[in-house]
Structure 1
Amino acid sequence: MAYHIAVKFDVPAEHRDEFIAAALEDGRNSNADEPGTLAFNLVEDEETANRFYLIEAYEDEEAFQAHCDGPHFKKFFDIIGGWGQEGPEWLVRGTQHV
């Protein structure tokens, strides 16, 4: 089993590149430094300009909480804090059953 989340962000056009860079950095660093992080993906919506999804997987809910309490999560939200008010919108939050 794994704990999955998916969130949606609508990003102002003038901050598009900054958002992409911050999300990719968060994902790279989370994958490298957080043992419970299994996957961290940034997906751009093909129909809505400047809409992005973060699709993430963790060993369990505790690993997700550790990510939320960690420095990469904080840095991401510090970067987008002033203009990232159009997200995140929760789309998925739960445990995968196999």
Structure 2
Amino acid sequence: MYHIAVSFDVPEERRAEFVAAALQDGRDSAADEPGTLRFELIADAERPGRFYLNEAYEDERAFGLHCEGPHFARFFELIKDYAEGPAWLIRGTRIEDEQTATTAPAPEETVR
């Protein structure tokens, strides 16, 4: 699974506008981009104008397709005049620990 996290700094008077644009981008990406697994918007607890996007994709290719898509372009078009960022925090492939990984039981194995 490929993960990215970025931050944006947004003026106080544009926070609601930024939140609306980011949430719409996430909804549209999840609906239209099969490789999009998670799209989270997080407000910093100590800096009211700082927001984080925490995203997960099936693989790096799926993230590339997201970056080439219309939702990504629309989001950046909407925020370009006031948001600073993205500042990259992480990007890479999650390394699973097979010794501690758990799997959900198959539907027929579910206890009722």
**Range class of TM-score, shorter chain:** over 0.9
Deviation at 1:74, TM superposition (A): 0.3
Superposed CA RMSD in Å reads 0.5
User: Separation in 2 of the partners of 1:6 and 1:48?
Assistant: 17
**Partner of 1:46 in structure 2?**
45
Normalising to structure 2: TM-score of the pair? 0.84
**Partner of 2:58 in structure 1?**
59
The 5 A counterparts of 1:13-92 are: 13-84=12-83, 86-92=84-90
- Is 1:97 matched with 2:61? no
How many aligned residue pairs are there?
A: 96
User: Separation in 2 of the partners of 1:87 and 1:13?
Assistant: 15
Q: Deviations along 1:10-58, whole A, 9 cap, x unmatched?
A: 1011110000000000000000100000000000000111110000000
Q: Which has the larger radius of gyration?
A: 2
Structure 2 residue identity aligned to 1:87: G
Extract unaligned runs of 5+ from structure 2: 97-112
Deviation at 1:82, TM superposition (A): 1.0
Identity of matched residues, %: 64
Normalising to structure 1: TM-score of the pair? 0.96
Q: Which runs of 4+ in 1 moved over 3 A?
A: none
Extract unaligned runs of 5+ from structure 1: none
